[in-house]
Chain A
Amino acid sequence: MPRRDDLESILLIGAGPIVIGQACEFDYSGTQACKVLRAEGYRVILANSNPATIMTDPDFADATYVEPLDADHLTSIIERESPDAVLPTLGGQTALNLAMELAERKVVGVPGRPELIGANAEAIATAEDRERFKVAMQEIGLHVPPSAIAHSMDEARQVVDRIGLPVVIRPAFILGGRGTGIATTPAEFDRLAAGGLAASPISEILVERSIAGWKEYELEVMRDRADNCVVVCSIENLDPMGVHTGDSITVAPAQTLTDVEYQAMRDAAFACIRRVGVETGGSNVQFALDPAGGDMVIIEMNPRVSRSSALASKATGFPIAKIAARLAVGYTLDEIPNDITRRTPASFEPTVDYVVTKVPRWAFEKFPGSPAVLGTSMQSVGEAMAIGRTFPESLQKALRSLEHGRAGLNCDPAEAELEALGDDELIRRASVGTPDRPFQLEAALRRGVDVDALAARTHVDPWFLDQILRVVEERAHLAEVGLAGMTPRGWRRAKQLGFSDAQLAWLWGTDAAEVRGQRLAAGVRPTFKTVDTCGGEFDATTPYHYSTYEDEDEVVASGRRKVLILGSGPNRIGQGIEFDYCCVHASFALADAGFETVMLNCNPETVSTDYDTSDRLYFEPLTLEDALNVIEAEQRLGDLAGVVVALGGQTPLKLAGALPPGLVLGTSAASIDAAEDRELWSALCARLGIPQPPGGTATTVEEALEVVDRIGYPALLRPSYVLGGRAMEIVDDEAGLRRAMAALAGFGSLGREGGLSASRPVLIDRFLEDATEVDVDALRDHAGEVVIGGVMEHVEEAGVHSGDSACSIPPHSLDAGTVALIEDHTRRLADALDVRGLINVQYAVQQGHVFVIEANPRASRTVPFVAKATGVPLVKVAARVMVGATLAELRDEGLLRPPLAGGHVAVKEAVLPFNRFPDVDTVLGPEMRSTGEVMGIDRTFGLAFGKAQASAGDRLPDGGLVFLSLADRDKPAGLRAAVQLVELGFGIAATRGTADHLERHGVPVAQRVAKVAGDGEPPDVDGGAGLPTAVDLIADGKVALVVNSPRGSGARADGAYIRRAANVHRVPCLTTGAAAVAAAESAVDRSRHDPRVRTLQEYHQGPRRVAGGPR
Chain B
Amino acid sequence: MTPGEGLLVLADGTTFAGELVGAEPPGGVASGEVVFNTVLAGYQEVLSDPSYAGQIVTFTYPHIGNYGVNGDDDESRRPFARGVVVREMARRRSSWRSTGDLDAYLRAHGVPGIAGVDTRRLTRHIRRAGALPGAFGSADEATLAAAAAREPGTAGVDLVATVTCAAPYAVPAGPGGGDRRIVAYDLGIKRTILRHLSGLGEVTVVPAATPADEVLARRPDGVFLSNGPGDPAAGGAAAEAVEAVRGLLGQVPLFGICLGHQLMATALGATTVKLPFGHHGGNHPVRRLATGQVEITSQNHNYAVAEGTLGGDAEVTHVNLNDGVVEGIRSRDLRAFGVQYHPEAGPGPHDAAYLFDEFAALVDASRSTGAAR
Contact B285 A334 (CB under 8 A): yes
Known: A256-B66, A353-B120. A263 touches B349 (CB 8 A): yes
Contact A463 B70 (CB under 8 A): no
Chain A residues lying within 8 Å of B60, measured Cβ to Cβ, are 351, 353, 535-537
Within 8 A of A (CB), among B43-91: 44-45, 60-63, 66-67, 70, 72-73, 87-88, 90-91
CB distance from A541 to the nearest CB of B (A): 14
CB distance from A477 to the nearest CB of B (A): 15
CB distance from A1004 to the nearest CB of B (A): 72
Dominant secondary structure at the A interface: loop
Q: Which of A260, A290, A352, A463 contacts B61 (CB 8 A)?
A: A352
> What's the Cα separation between A262 and B73 when bound, in Å?
13
Contact B121 A550 (CB under 8 A): yes
Contact A463 B41 (CB under 8 A): no
Contact B124 A552 (CB under 8 A): yes
Contact A344 B345 (CB under 8 A): no
Instruction: Judge if B283 is at the interface, Cβ distance under 8 Å.
Output: yes
CB distance from B52 to the nearest CB of A (A): 16
Known: A550-B118, A550-B121. A463 touches B39 (CB 8 A): no
Q: Which of B92, B121, B283, B346 contacts A552 (CB 8 A)?
A: B121
Chain A residues lying within 8 Å of B284, measured Cβ to Cβ, are 348
Contact A389 B40 (CB under 8 A): no
Contact A463 B349 (CB under 8 A): no
Contact A294 B349 (CB under 8 A): no
Instruction: Judge if B137 is at the interface, Cβ distance under 8 Å.
Output: no
A-B contact count (CB 8 A): 171
Contact A344 B62 (CB under 8 A): no
Contact B293 A226 (CB under 8 A): yes
1/0 per residue, CB under 8 A from B, across A219-263: the answer is 000000011101000100000000000000000011111111111
Contact A228 B293 (CB under 8 A): yes
Instruction: Judge if A347 is at the interface, Cβ distance under 8 Å.
Output: yes
1/0 per residue, CB under 8 A from B, across A638-656: the answer is 0000000000000000000
Instruction: Judge if B296 is at the interface, Cβ distance under 8 Å.
Output: yes
CB distance from B194 to the nearest CB of A (A): 16
Within 8 A of A (CB), among B245-284: 277, 280-284
Contact A267 B350 (CB under 8 A): yes
Chain A residues lying within 8 Å of B96, measured Cβ to Cβ, are 290-294
Chain A residues lying within 8 Å of B332, measured Cβ to Cβ, are none
Q: Which of A257, A263, A343, A349 contacts B283 (CB 8 A)?
A: A349
Contact B41 A348 (CB under 8 A): no
Contact B61 A535 (CB under 8 A): yes
The residue in chain A whose Cβ has the minimal distance to the Cβ of B65 is A463
Contact A262 B41 (CB under 8 A): yes
CB distance from B44 to the nearest CB of A (A): 8
Dominant secondary structure at the B interface: loop
Q: Which of A263, A390, A451 contacts B92 (CB 8 A)?
A: A451
Within 8 A of B (CB), among A550-564: 550-552, 554
> What's the Cα separation between A552 and B124 when bound, in Å?
10
Instruction: Judge if B127 is at the interface, Cβ distance under 8 Å.
Output: yes
Instruction: Judge if A266 is at the interface, Cβ distance under 8 Å.
Output: yes
Contact B45 A294 (CB under 8 A): no
Contact B120 A462 (CB under 8 A): no
Within 8 A of B (CB), among A939-975: none
Q: Which of A226, A344, A535, A551 contacts B123 (CB 8 A)?
A: A535
Chain B residues lying within 8 Å of A551, measured Cβ to Cβ, are 16, 118, 121
Contact B123 A537 (CB under 8 A): yes
Q: Which of B94, B119, B285, B323 contacts A463 (CB 8 A)?
A: B94
Contact B63 A355 (CB under 8 A): yes
Contact A257 B67 (CB under 8 A): yes
Known: A259-B42, A463-B90, A552-B121. A334 touches B287 (CB 8 A): yes
CB distance from A1073 to the nearest CB of B (A): 60
The residue in chain A whose Cβ has the minimal distance to the Cβ of B345 is A263
1/0 per residue, CB under 8 A from B, across A261-305: the answer is 111001100000000000000000000001111100000000000
Known: A294-B97, A354-B62, A463-B90. A260 touches B118 (CB 8 A): no
Instruction: Judge if B93 is at the interface, Cβ distance under 8 Å.
Output: yes
Chain A residues lying within 8 Å of B348, measured Cβ to Cβ, are 259, 263
Instruction: Judge if A350 is at the interface, Cβ distance under 8 Å.
Output: yes
Within 8 A of A (CB), among B97-128: 97, 118-121, 123-124, 127
Chain B residues lying within 8 Å of A81, measured Cβ to Cβ, are none
Interface residues of A (CB under 8 A from B): 226-228, 230, 234, 253-263, 266-267, 290-294, 332-334, 343-345, 347-355, 389-391, 451, 461-463, 466, 469, 529, 534-539, 550-552, 554
Extra contacts besides A390-B63, A537-B60 (4): CB < 8 Å: A260-B97, A263-B347, A334-B285, A536-B124
Instruction: Please name the 3 residue pairs, one residue from A and one from B, whose CB atoms are nearest each other, closest first.
Output: A259-B42, A466-B92, A259-B347
